[in-house]
Chain A
């Protein structure tokens, strides 16, 4: 969709009262559409803002369809965070729809001149559901818990440069850094750094996040039924929020939210078409065009801060996986644009570097690498001494170019695996795809498979890609034991950046070094697609956050 189409789609959605004027402005801003362009588009047609849009009606339960099953709702130790986190918990800061970092539980933050400490002001008057006040000490408890490796915070490694967390007074929280680490701001806004009541967590033990939850969000926990649903209800005593982009600063409008895990792909689109749910995350890509043609639905699609990566095991030296040329040969054999067109129905983009082109740190220089060029692949493998054997499979010193590819079982993963298999067959490589259930898949990754396919999703993609490619995280989660000095240097630069400019420069270095040396091979990124029925207002998924927030959401009659 080019920019004009995007504007027109937004304006017509607004005209049909599917999104409010405010949503329109914010979404336009998120797409980089200025007020003047929007004004021109609006002028083409008379737009009246309905009274409903101005005065939200409280009440009702939002029914949201979700494409995954739910994980434990304990921010400190979970396997993933789901949309309910956005209703139950809050972080110190939040990403606004324009990509700007805005205050949430911290009203303010400053970075010391030497860049060796960050100070947050915790004075918003927020409370936990249990009534405990959110002060610097409460936040310190959470961050200390994250740093404790025994707790199992999934990405606690991102807090490694944070040497100590101090709470000199009730409203001051200081993160002491071992080296400049500007990126820490990108870390604390994510779901794994959401603030929960550690006292309640300690009391509840394993049950925290399962049957007991004590967060600061505008909703309280009601029920979790695995494979079925999560229910939350309005917290009437919510002290309010200071997030600038929220219109509603007080308690939520909704009485509750009901998330349904709709694991059968085709059912998701059918369910919202049928009016059984109000909003939906990720219908199947092949159903999106149909939904877009439905005048009762508004569909938005954003590039996700995610990516599919294809890792080779550097220890497989007999297959030359430790050779840059071999990895480049594999990469050039894959037609990413064709994958995006055929499998993602153009709801995605090719990845020539490690992160999505929509990310704010994206460096387009990566596009000069990894273009589809099977002839170049053949030349590269020939350079390494591989020649086609009798059956067409490459051979070198009696070693056949045959290896396993481990994927987690899911329909797109399987298709992607089979496309890689077919693409590499073209250049004489024999790939055996092994599609495994989740438990077996991570078991296999831990054992260092020949090669693997992995899908990551994280609000700050570089932060998590680092873990798959840096030699410091061998063997988990650098399952392929990738080790490339240039990449390691870029990682150090990123982690030591003391300012936004340094961070951006390090990010560019990181991307180009990966695009060239391929510690893991980037493939494609898919879009997140969000669908809403016309009565849902103030619901604003955007590309800088992986889920919408629910403070502003209300249901029109």
Chain B
């Protein structure tokens, strides 16, 4: 299940950091990226999966829901089924290709929800401090501690079980991690000289937030986002473990692993293939995140 505690740059509480944005970012970005082979590799892997997520389903040789019970549990390289079939005789390749899209959409959905709520609340808490900070930090802790399964049960009951309920449940819990990071970043930025200067000259708060602060948290948010996509995919796999992920016949990668685990001894491929796919996506996303952080994090410019 999700490691909601991933906190790539500042991680916990408050970290003070020097500012500000730098120039000529693009040229340096490319240079740095090519220097870090692992990040480059990760980015390529992630891009491949994103492309597969977009065009994959149209490459699928079969309908992902099409069953043939007489051809269940075929191993890879069986006739007509490059990656074999699952327990009800559905083509694994077609399901993986569709599953990649579904899992990426889940990852993206959770990340967007987390980012929106987390950034908004985190920004308010970090900028205004005092009472709003206290209240929002309390909400963050409450959300963080709230049992995901309970929220998932309620949402499944209200919206019907399925991906929407799962994405909302994970997003509504996991924004807390985002909020915490953003708050920390903003606490630091608001003490920076250019913000202090802007305030001294009487620039209104809203303008300071929009013009000076938000642009500065884009970088850390992007880094967090790349990790969050990976985390959400794993989290959905976790909910699938108790049947609260994608509903039949939709093949998210998580559901495929969860369902495949019962067939592990008979036909190990039904779990290995989606398992490896998740692993590669998570690997790619994380390495991209690491690379992005090295690129965008001002602190690491001297590294």
Contact = CB atoms under 8 A, between A and B. Distances in A.
Contact of A419 (B67, B243, B244, B262): B67
B157 A342 contact: no
B248 A290 contact: no
Contacts, number: 93
A338 B249 contact: no
A435 B67 contact: no
Contact of B243 (A266, A269, A341, A414): A414
A286 B262 contact: yes
Nearest to B65: A422
Interface of A: 265-266, 269-270, 284, 286-287, 290, 335, 338-339, 341-343, 404, 409-411, 414-415, 417-419, 421-422, 425, 432-437, 439-440, 443
The A interface, classified by DSSP as helix, strand, loop or mixed, is helix
Interface string B261-277: 11111100000000000
Given A287-B265, A290-B265, A436 B156 contact: yes
B89 interface: yes
Interface in B51-74: 65-67, 69-70, 72-73
21 contacts: A269-B265, A290-B265, A335-B69, A338-B70, A342-B88, A342-B89, A343-B87, A409-B243, A410-B243, A414-B248, A415-B88, A418-B249, A419-B67, A419-B88, A421-B248, A433-B248, A433-B249, A434-B162, A435-B247, A437-B243, A440-B153
A422 B265 contact: no
A415 B88 CA distance: 7
Interface string B84-127: 00011100000000000000000000000000000000000000
B170 to A, nearest CB: 17
Interface string B146-160: 000000010011001
A399 B264 CA distance: 43
Contacts of B69: 335, 338-339, 341-343, 419
A404 B160 CA distance: 10
B247 A437 contact: no
Contacts of A440: 153, 156-157
A433 B88 CA distance: 15
A194 to B, nearest CB: 32
Given A266-B265, A418-B88, A437 B248 contact: no
Given A266-B264, A287-B266, A434-B160, A439 B153 contact: yes
Given A269-B265, A437-B153, 15 more contacts: A265-B262, A266-B262, A286-B87, A286-B263, A335-B69, A343-B88, A409-B244, A415-B88, A415-B248, A421-B248, A434-B162, A435-B243, A439-B153, A440-B153, A440-B156
A266 B249 CA distance: 23
Nearest to A434: B161
B76 to A, nearest CB: 18
B262 A284 contact: yes
Contacts of A341: 69-70
Contacts of A418: 67, 88, 248-249
B200 interface: no
B240 to A, nearest CB: 10
B297 interface: no
A411 B259 contact: yes
A422 B66 contact: yes
Contacts of A436: 156, 161, 243
Contacts of B244: 409, 437
A342 B66 contact: no
A273 to B, nearest CB: 10
B249 A421 contact: yes
Contacts of B247: 432-435
Given A342-B87, A434-B247, A286 B157 contact: no
B102 to A, nearest CB: 15
B22 interface: no
B27 interface: no
Nearest to A443: B157
A410 B259 CA distance: 10
B35 to A, nearest CB: 45
Contacts of A433: 247-249
A338 B69 CA distance: 6
B153 A415 contact: no
Contacts of A435: 161, 243, 247-248
A282 B262 CA distance: 13
A409 B265 CA distance: 22
Contacts of A269: 265
B242 interface: yes
Contacts of A338: 69-70
Contacts of A343: 69, 72, 87-88
A419 B261 CA distance: 19
Most chain A Cβ neighbours within 10 Å, of B89, B243, B244, B264: B243
Contacts of B249: 418, 421-422, 433
Nearest to A414: B248
